[in-house]
Chain A
């Protein structure tokens, strides 16, 4: 039995996904089953399992390790899942999405994400990557009647497959050199080779880097992101931009900060460049967007850049900062996309910037909640986003990367400009919004308010989560 302990969180989510599929299969046409509720049960179970596994460093089959780092990310993913399901419930009903398929896909992709965050073997990382990616490809195109969504799904699929090939190739090279796909053995091999300049090591490293960079949409591997994010239903975009990113970053950090740590002198400059390019391009191009989803897509690219800064810093502050930032960013970004989703209608996405003109007059509560999200994304106090950004910058400064820190703060000022454009639209444009008629959704609204409370509480009293993040990195690396 003990062999299975580390996979319990994953199992809970998988079982929930299977239950959802079963329920859908036995659902009579038109019957309204609380399918999302099944997912919530599974996710809560996963959270409970993660809490119980805390500090135990359980391992299963030698390839899954439930160390604190993995469990922290698991908890973040569970929160992402819970919020997504709650935000989705009004959207699924409104847009007539196939509820069973939709929730099952969400849960399967969360399974993949959790696996990715806890995998200790490159091949398992790859399998996890495929599980989550395939589910997300389908979710992107789940509105089959929408040409844009179909196009987005196809683009995402093609480029995703392309990046998977890179990743697999990197695994192959690494395996060829070290004779193993286990991270600890690769690490031991590389540590012994640390002084050699075997170019094959760098080739493997480079391919893996490209594979990860695709998944976290780091510039210049971000091309798919704006299209996929714009085409997918808003709530799916929120899910992708937080869950996928969190899982990919967890694996990225684990592989590069443990197995490839001896070669940090080689990859740190590359990641430095990626981080700088990602922050700059994400914000500068974000300024030019007139579609809110596309704008937030670029903003999430930029946020990936900030997370990369923590990876470059590669010290304890940086590792803990990545975890804190992921949590803060996940809640904030998901909530922002939820507002877009709640304001949409079946036949109109209402996601152009001008659609938000005068939203304050029509829906004051939603406008206020959106404002808090945007301020948090922009890194203004007293929000979680501010603490996250401060933490990442601390990491950069304490590792001596002043240049990166300065790029980070300057781009965050530029990003505030485009977040403020939304605020300007909502509060300072006179035309009353056409969105007045959108119904206020119970569960979705409650989840939104809860997210905002979390954002503000984390901004004012970040210590518990900070300590948890610090405790999470103590066990590995």
Chain B
């Protein structure tokens, strides 16, 4: 019941707002508070789920299963395990912060804005808790609509272009996944005589390797666009930059994680043989993304664009960890998803605050802000360092674990990933230096107000979370441990080729053997 509540509460909130009359924005304040209360209540629900979660069990918990379209074996079936639990909590954690961030900047159509935000939250939580592929797809696609409106109506100058690009890119990837989902259900029908979209049953399906390849590609394309993995990232800078602050926070904080979550939940365990085959290629793309994202971020004149490209870089780490398919790699990947949600969500929030004050996001328009807004500077510093991955803050744990995992798999990738870490320090600190240090170069900046109480309320939880995640990683790693073990065992047990290899070489060793990557092959010679 709790899981259903976790997405029904925001949806009910959205429907309730629908009937509130708000001619000429008379009830804007009521609507703002109401939607904030709804998101906080949702967060409370997810905390209750976390509290009741049994970390020692690798199974899905809080499972609910109700037949939905029985003729096709489609159930309303939800549950969380260690992989999804914290992502649900993250979603509910970021939503009230995103709403708070909009209080200063969204002045027209507050009611519609709040409705779309709440509907978006419902769909996002639905994506993470679905255990039925049909249900998953419904949430996955339904989520596009509110995001499209959020970017398209409340975004910046190029908002319409960005909104359509976001929608079409994501849909183009996901419709092929729909065909693959149908194919899976049909294979299940072939094998057992009944259609099923149930993830747990489909996990046990034996799929011929050639078929796995196609289905893996269809699923992975959808997720790679969402992540976004290089070279499918071109929608991201547009969408992130043009979206209103709240939209950027949610996009960076939650939406991108759906791609990596999908890889972990669907692509790899459903099609292990294909995953083994393609893992080196994916990892290569991830590493290219890490370096490329960092280099492009470095030269951005626009702060929001800089943060957007830094996401490409950071999400590359997550994909690398997943490809390694060992416990450090996966745990690191999940941890990095959470950490990136907090720190990049925070960066977009803070950049949004600056943009609200000055109506520009160009780095060159700022400078010397440290003396003007010392509190904002301090908060920005914490989040910046968290994003860089300074030990003691959240970013460090994930990146460290990922590199550890990747090193056990194939050290060559780690070399490049390490360069990415250094580059991230370069572009973040350089941006920080240009914005906050030095003399105040623009007169308008001399009188900027420091953090308002409302902004404190949004920024403090993020900073606190960055510190807590950096100092007590076990708090967040413990719930995922047994699920990650189970996931790995599942993938490895169904590596058909593993047995042929004779030795108990782990998953990735096989993968590397199967497909020597042309580029690395050359470098070895």
The answer to whether residues A463 and B71 also contact, given A402-B183, A424-B160, A428-B160 and a CB cut-off of 8 A, is yes
A466, B71: Cβ atoms under 8 Å? yes
Q: Which residue of A lies closest to B68 (CB)?
A: A463
Residue A117 at the B interface, CB < 8 A?
no
B168, A397: Cβ atoms under 8 Å? no
The answer to whether residues A398 and B164 also contact, given A380-B141, A405-B179 and a CB cut-off of 8 A, is no
Q: Mark the stretch among B169-177, B319-327, B493-501 that contacts chain A.
A: B169-177
* Residues in chain B near residue A381, CB distance under 8 A: 137-139, 141-142
* Residues in chain B near residue A402, CB distance under 8 A: 179, 183
From the candidates A397, A405, A424, name the one contacting B152 in the complex (CB within 8 A).
A424
The answer to whether residues A470 and B71 also contact, given A380-B142, A405-B179, A416-B171 and a CB cut-off of 8 A, is yes
Q: Mark the stretch among A127-135, A215-223, A238-246, A407-415 that contacts chain B.
A: A407-415
Residue A164 at the B interface, CB < 8 A?
no
How many chain B residues sit at the interface, stated as a range, is 20 to 34
B176, A409: Cβ atoms under 8 Å? yes
Residue A37 at the B interface, CB < 8 A?
no
B179, A409: Cβ atoms under 8 Å? yes
Docked complex Cα distance between A405 and B141 (Å) = 18
From the candidates B71, B134, B137, B159, name the one contacting A428 in the complex (CB within 8 A).
B159
Residue B153 at the A interface, CB < 8 A?
yes
Q: Which residue of B lies closest to A320 (CB)?
A: B71
From the candidates B144, B175, B185, name the one contacting A412 in the complex (CB within 8 A).
B175
The answer to whether residues A397 and B182 also contact, given A424-B152, A466-B69 and a CB cut-off of 8 A, is yes
From the candidates A386, A409, A416, A462, name the one contacting B167 in the complex (CB within 8 A).
A416
From the candidates A394, A410, A420, name the one contacting B164 in the complex (CB within 8 A).
A420
A427, B149: Cβ atoms under 8 Å? yes
Q: Please count how many residues in chain A sit with their CB below 8 Å of the partner chain's CB atoms.
A: 29
A397, B159: Cβ atoms under 8 Å? no
Residue A152 at the B interface, CB < 8 A?
no
Residue A342 at the B interface, CB < 8 A?
no
B72, A394: Cβ atoms under 8 Å? yes
* Residues in chain A near residue B189, CB distance under 8 A: 398
Q: Which residue of A lies closest to B108 (CB)?
A: A361
Q: Which residue of B lies closest to A375 (CB)?
A: B145
From the candidates A413, A423, A463, A466, name the one contacting B171 in the complex (CB within 8 A).
A413
Q: Which residue of A lies closest to B214 (CB)?
A: A402
The answer to whether residues A420 and B167 also contact, given A398-B189, A428-B152, A428-B153 and a CB cut-off of 8 A, is yes
Which residues does A use to contact B, with CB under 8 Å? 375, 380-382, 386, 390, 393-394, 397-398, 402, 405-406, 409-410, 412-413, 416-417, 420, 423-424, 427-428, 462-463, 466-467, 470
- Can you sample 22 A-B contacts with CB below 8 Å? A380-B144, A381-B138, A390-B134, A390-B182, A393-B178, A393-B179, A394-B182, A394-B185, A397-B183, A402-B183, A405-B182, A406-B176, A406-B179, A410-B175, A416-B168, A420-B148, A420-B167, A424-B163, A428-B153, A428-B160, A466-B71, A470-B71
Which residues does B use to contact A, with CB under 8 Å? 68-72, 134, 137-139, 141-142, 144-145, 148-149, 152-153, 159-160, 163-164, 167-168, 171-172, 175-176, 178-179, 182-183, 185-186, 189
